[in-house]
Amino acid sequence: MELEELSGRKLLDGENIISPTQGETGVDIYISTSSAGGGLQMMVGGVVKSMTGESAQRAALGAGAIVMDVLASNDGRLYHEKVQRIRQLRPDMILLSGGVDGGTVTHVVELAEVLEAANPKPRLGMNYKLPVIYAGNKNAREPIKERLGEITDLMTVDNIRPTLEEENLQPSRDKIHDLFMEHVMAQAPGYKKLMGWTDAPIMPTPGAVGEIIKKIAEAENISVVGVDIGGATTDVFSVFQRQFNRTVSANLGMSYSVCNVLAESGFDNVARWVPFNMDKTDLTNRIGNKMIRPTTIPQSLEALIIEQAIAREALRLSFEQHKEFAVHLKGVQTERTISDAFEQTSSGETLVNLMELDMLVGSGGVLSHAPRRHQAARMLIDAFLPEGITQLAVDSIFMMPQLGILSTIHPKAAVEVFEKDCLIRLGTCIAPVGKGKSDQVLLHYEISLPDERITGDLKLGELKLIPAPFEPLQAKFTPGKGIDIGAGKNEVLETKVYGGVVGILLDGRGRQPFVLSDENENRVALLNEWSKETDEYPQLESLRV
């Protein structure tokens, strides 16, 4: 009804949406995403935890699920502990994989026997059997059916790891989507009516965000990292070397699980981003209050700074977890010659290469609704520490899930709306990499703005902001000795960079690793200097009393 009012177009006929369009009334298509019931909660199983177990996890996460636990033959738990864990968690569905096609059968059958003994009951709805997807060695299908066919709703799809060198996740992901609709969502009140309205299957909200990230990477042929930071969880999405990965940090968020962020990062890591002296008890109490009253927002500059300090740590920890998970296939045997022994990527090495990263997109209240866009840009840079040249953007009104599901029907429209209406282009981060010495010039820059040419030097430890509009600007970067800006060590780079609502941020704070001073006075002075330089907290001086 609100949309009818805003658009001046009749959309409803009683309780039904008019679809397809009839002249000046109705809509062409109605689509929906959902995170009802806490989203889709799954357990996955694989014979080897770091191989088929990890592949199964990638399949489930990519379909928009929260993976509660990974069962594996070699996970170190005893038989009865695994049975107990399954009964305790009560997942919405289970994805079971294991073995390459034609390989050993016994281990994956043993996992099926654990499930049989547990006889798990679904979390929602009492009158149906728990859905189990089998995506393992095709030779084990019959023995699996014997054990699980009666007590679960067993479905079989193509093997996730048909060979050691190959990963085939799509059939499992499609089946997870279908079952999500048929079983899990069918239990939520009003869902039958909603399903009657929609012209395409309802998609889990995080799965839809993943879709738009994939489409953007594909359309522009770039590497992308996206992050969605919520109250209870933080999702990280990435596309590197055309491989999509998603991880869910289910215990890192800004309200319901904010105490977990403090526990995991430690007081010192949160306090290092606060540009004034902070008492440990005071910080702990503030964070505790946020967890008790999760829907409150900061009412003072001091509270805002503390909240954004915690956000940096939640983002950093989530990204660390993502890097550990987004890896090349493990278990692959690689043949090496003398010439490529030093170059070839070893199996199990992370796909995340920050020097390759072209775009970093942030979403979630703390980023999208930061009082100043400069603060969102600083949070992204401080948490992710991008290297070389990286565009920064935020999702303005949390439109990514809707565009994600639209992209499965009309990719061109979804990508265009994403570019023009959803993304707020913050600007570009220019971060030289390499070991520098105190006061060393890391980079000489020349940037042609529409009405002037700006040149200067970036020294170690400096952070500079050049206000610039969102348009392609010709730039030349000359790195100092032993420094790389993206073309290789000591190599000059001439390229186009983009400004944005914040501008071009030159980050000379170093990356190997990035360390803030242990001396409290030095640290506070540096944070104040960086804040002033990047226009992050213009009223910061008012806190100096």
Question: pLDDT (tens digit, 0 to 9) for every residue of the chain, 545 residues total?
Answer: 899 999 999 999 888 888 888 888 999 999 998 876 666 788 999 888 888 888 888 888 888 788 888 998 888 888 899 999 988 888 888 999 988 888 888 889 999 999 899 988 877 666 678 889 999 999 999 999 999 888 888 999 999 998 888 888 889 988 888 887 776 677 778 888 888 888 888 888 888 899 999 999 998 899 999 999 988 889 999 999 988 998 888 788 898 888 989 999 999 899 999 988 888 899 899 999 998 998 888 999 999 999 999 999 999 999 998 998 888 776 654 444 444 434 444 446 888 999 999 999 999 999 999 999 999 999 999 999 999 999 999 998 888 999 999 999 999 999 999 989 999 999 999 999 988 787 789 999 999 998 899 999 999 989 999 999 999 999 999 999 989 999 999 999 999 999 999 999 999 998 866 777 778 888 888 899 999 999 998 877 766 54
Enter the DSSP assignment of 79: H
DSSP reduced 3-state for 38: helix
Q: Which two tokens stand for residue 172?
A: 């499992």
Q: Which residue from 51, 37, 144, 53 is spatially nearest to 92, judged by alpha carbons?
A: 37
Q: Which two tokens stand for residue 424?
A: 């707020």
Tally the residues of the chain: 545
Enter the DSSP assignment of 421: I
Q: How many CA atoms lie within 13 A of 56 on its CB side?
A: 34
Give the burial class of 457: count Cβ atoms within 10 A of its Cβ; 0-12 exposed, 13-18 middle, 19 or more buried.
Answer: middle
Residue with tokens 């999509």: 244
Phi, psi of 479 (to 5 degrees): -75, 155
Q: What is the pLDDT of residue 513?
A: 67
Pick the CATH number of 36-194 from 3.40.50.720, 3.40.50.2300, 3.40.50.880, 3.30.830.10: 3.40.50.2300
Angle at 532 between CA 526 and CA 538, to 5 degrees: 130
Enter the DSSP assignment of 418: I
Q: What is the pLDDT of residue 453?
A: 93
Q: Which residues pair with 465 in a beta bridge?
A: 505
Q: What is the pLDDT of residue 95?
A: 92
Q: What is the pLDDT of residue 90?
A: 86
Residue 204 and residue 185: Cα distance in Å, rounded?
A: 10
Q: Which residue from 122, 115, 113, 97 is spatially nearest to 41, judged by alpha carbons?
A: 122
Q: What is the pTM (predicted TM-score) of this model?
A: 0.85
Residues of the chain with CATH 3.40.50.2300: 36-194
Residue 217 and residue 215: Cα distance in Å, rounded?
A: 6
Residue 218 and residue 224: Cα distance in Å, rounded?
A: 10
Q: What is the pLDDT of residue 338?
A: 43
Q: Which residues pair with 423 in a beta bridge?
A: 395
Q: Who's near 416: CB < 8 A, 6+ residues apart? A: none
Q: Which two tokens stand for residue 532?
A: 């002033």
Residue 333 and residue 175: Cα distance in Å, rounded?
A: 30
Q: What is the pLDDT of residue 37?
A: 64
Residue 417 and residue 248: Cα distance in Å, rounded?
A: 26
